[in-house]
Structure 1
Amino acid sequence: MIADRAKTSRGRVRSTGVDGTSSSVTVEGVITALAGALTVVLTAAAFWLSYEHLQEVAARHGMGDAAVRSWAWPATVDLFIVIGELLILRASLARRVDGWAVALASIGSGGSIALNVAGVGAQAQPMDYVVAAVPPVAALLAFGALMRQVHAYLARRVVTPVEHPSTPTGVAVDRPKVADASPDAVKAAAVPELASSEPAVEAASTAVGVCPPVVYANRVDGLVRALYGTLGAQPTTSQMTAAMVAAGLGASESTARTARGRVKNREPYLASFPATIAS
């Protein structure tokens, strides 16, 4: 008896140990946060050095008596880099290439580097040119690194079908004949929790074709689309909200109905699916 209790106690101690996976995730998060903070500091410092040098160049070339204009003039060059990088980030999130954004960033970066170097003067030493070129180059690289980290963070928040196999977003589904399935089987296939409470699906005498593969980035939209393929019918509000609760997406009926509207707008043929009694 005492030996059994000792074994049980040792088992409990082992089961409450620190999870190695959680520790690695925590360390990765700390490193990512530190890298992001250092990138922000580097970007700000490099832009400040480049901006101030361009202000000095402007002051020496016709704007010495207009301090406000000499400080505003560098913005006509450096801000093109910021605008271009932000537009590139927006385009990459939309999975497309924005040539105009790339051109803006390239022109702004090239102009900033050229003006910083040219502003040193013709009689300067080689190291003076290097010192003048480093801030705009560093600003370009640091801001690009910052936008890359922002993109990676936003991309991780877009859930893929692999991460949530229970809510597939882009699969080819053979829709069964609703008439061949009993109401209980149809309800259980969609959401098991509704098997005893959801109204029966109206019978249909003809089969509906094969659903083409469509990918939805929005999780709720993908969940609603999956219910169409599973049920072979238009899902009801209660079915959608129950499935959302099961997937950890809340239980907002308005969100479910809005998602259903977006799915039907994207795939109009879904409107021909047989309707359920309650929707």
Structure 2
Amino acid sequence: MRDRNDGPPGQTPPWYARVATSAGRPAVLGATLIMSMPGEYHVAKYAGWSDPWAYGMPFSLSAYAGIAAVVAATRPKKARGRVSATLGAGFAIVLALAAQVVAHLVETGHMDHNQPWLIAVTSMVPPAVLAHLLHLAATPTPVVAASASVDTSEETPVVERLEQSKPQPAPAAVPPMPPTAPQLPPAAPPAPAPIVYQDPRCATVRPLYDTGTRPSTSAMRAALVNAGYGKVSDSTIRGVIRAEIEQHEPHLAHYPQTLPLASGQRP
């Protein structure tokens, strides 16, 4: 929000004006405090304070006026302590003015400093200042919730109001989200690696187990003969060929026999 002291909208104060404003305020404040201290010091001396206690009068009045002014300016309207701080700030200004006037009247011989009312009023200043500062300190400061400031039409520059009155472009349309890709079924487990038999005749006998039964010795012999291996002994069929097949696949040994054994025939 633009400061009303900054001039018309779009116009920046010259550099010397900005320097005078920023550096002049503390300079003026320091000069006025220094110029006010002798008068307040002499008034304290007239009231009967000796050094170094008389030097406390300028600091008391200056600090009191500053604290009361800050409290009066920072507290919101109708808040507790604001009226009292405003009155205290005015009272501090009146005391500072009165101290300067009395000190200069006495110094120029227009007034006698040895007057009971002057001594009494001056003696009451430190206790009154202390009491009022304690009152301001004991008064709770209201907590105002932070809110975004809204500029009125009078405070908003003309250029900003024109820009605010322009039609605002519509918000860009948000493209729709792509549909979720369908979840694929879990991949089938890899096929087991083929069995490599040490005895190649095992490959001829292994298909006989696909019927779900354990082939007999005669059935295995017939398969070997048909495959061109010739006549193979029973011990080789059972102890070598069938043993190697069932060693690679132990569950085949639990298959039922193909046919009931004939008399004198071994499985």
Instruction: Flag whether TM exceeds 0.5 (same fold).
Output: no
Query: Which structure has the larger Rg over C-alpha atoms?
Result: 2
Query: TM-score, structure 1 length as denominator?
Result: 0.34
Q: How does the TM-score come out when normalised to structure 2?
A: 0.36
